Amino acid sequence: MKLCMIGTGYVGLVSGVCFSDVGNTVYCVDKDKKKIEELNKGNVPIYEPGLEEILKKNYKQNRLKFTTDLKKAVSSSDIIFICVGTPTKKNSNSADLKYVFSVAKELKKIIKSYKIIITKSTVPVTTGDKIENILKNLGHKRFYLSR
């Protein structure tokens, strides 16, 4: 399958690399250009045992791609994973969901055909409904899955 990880941090990168290793083509997208440049040079920003080796193997075999081009990655993929951060808000115990909702708004502009969207970010109950509301009226059949 063709997969798109939006957010190439601990969760998006590790999941994306593992998905590519079982045969999927994976687009890892991040808005951090420097991170994407380094990943395209084979420089892994985090330490996870075995990650660098698996990443390099799948990158060479063209199953793993690192890009800032969200539109191309989403258009080329069947399944989209939202893996952006949800930091705790200042002076509150609740999660700041602005990055998740910002991705949903970007997806609404880009998506032109059927996609499965999965929220991998840690979010409170009802966030899936809010994302679905943002994506409403895409004008074609779609399916939404929450983590």
Q: Which residues bind ligand NAD (CB under 6 A)?
A: 6-12, 29-32, 35, 83-86, 99, 102-103, 121-122
Distance CA(16)–CA(58), nearest Å, equals: 10
Complex with ligand NAD: residue 43 or 61, whichever CB lies closer: 43
Burial class of residue 83, CB neighbours in 10 A (0-12, 13-18, 19+): buried
Amino acid at 40: N
| Dihedral angle computed from the Cα positions of residues 26, 31, 142 and 10, in that order, rounded to the nearest 10 degrees | 60
Amino acid at 22: V
> Taking the complex as a whole, how short is the minimal distance between the CB of residue 133 and ligand NAD, in angstroms?
18
Complex with ligand NAD: residue 92 or 141, whichever CB lies closer: 92
Complex with ligand NAD: residue 21 or 48, whichever CB lies closer: 48
Q: Which residue number has the CB closest to ligand NAD?
A: 9
> Taking the complex as a whole, how short is the minimal distance between the CB of residue 99 and ligand NAD, in angstroms?
4
> Taking the complex as a whole, how short is the minimal distance between the CB of residue 109 and ligand NAD, in angstroms?
12
Complex with ligand NAD: residue 60 or 129, whichever CB lies closer: 129
Host H or E run for residue 2: strand 2-6
Complex with ligand NAD: residue 85 or 138, whichever CB lies closer: 85
Contact between residue 64 and residue 28 where contact means Cβ atoms under 8 Å apart: yes
> Taking the complex as a whole, how short is the minimal distance between the CB of residue 29 and ligand NAD, in angstroms?
5
Q: Phi, psi (5° rounding) for residue 118?
A: -120, 130
> Taking the complex as a whole, how short is the minimal distance between the CB of residue 144 and ligand NAD, in angstroms?
17
